[in-house]
Amino acid sequence: HGVYDPKKLFGVTTLDVVRAKTFYAEKKGLAVVGTDVPVVGGHAGITILPLFSQATPLAPLTDEEREALTVRTQDGGTEVVAAKAGKGSATLSMAYAGALFADACLRGLNGQKDVIECTYVESTQVPGLEFFATKVCTPPPSPDSCSLSPG
């Protein structure tokens, strides 16, 4: 119908960011508030890629810690379901992540500069993948507006 605009379609990756930064902060003895860990990729198991090397504040991680935190972030939903003995999911975490994402979108729409969120968007970041979770900066809401440093 000619109405699709890739600059107006965002998928919520915030739940993976919330998990990654919470697990990272706990492991390194940091306050969760003020901690950020970008997450790229997808939203299923091994496609979730937390970028601990770009965390703020940056704390050193051993290879073993990085691997354990990555797996825990990737399996966060399974961990919650297991803790609830199969009788629920991460409902409150999802609501919290949705509220954070909606707040970021509204701040960007209200003209706040440099609102950066990881979000699932149409992207050219990875050849062969039409959609990819990556950092997006508003305004403008564009998958290429924020660059990721190697790491």
**What are the residue numbers of the active site?**
43
**How would you classify residue 114: left for phi > 0, otherwise alpha for psi between -120 and 50, otherwise beta?**
left
Residue 24's alpha-carbon distances to 46, 79, 113, 124, in angstroms, are 18, 16, 27, 29
The answer to whether residues 11 and 120 touch, using CB atoms and an 8 Å cutoff, is yes
Tokens read off for 74: 């990737």
For the chain, the residue count is 151
C-alpha closest to that of 47 among 139, 148, 132: 132
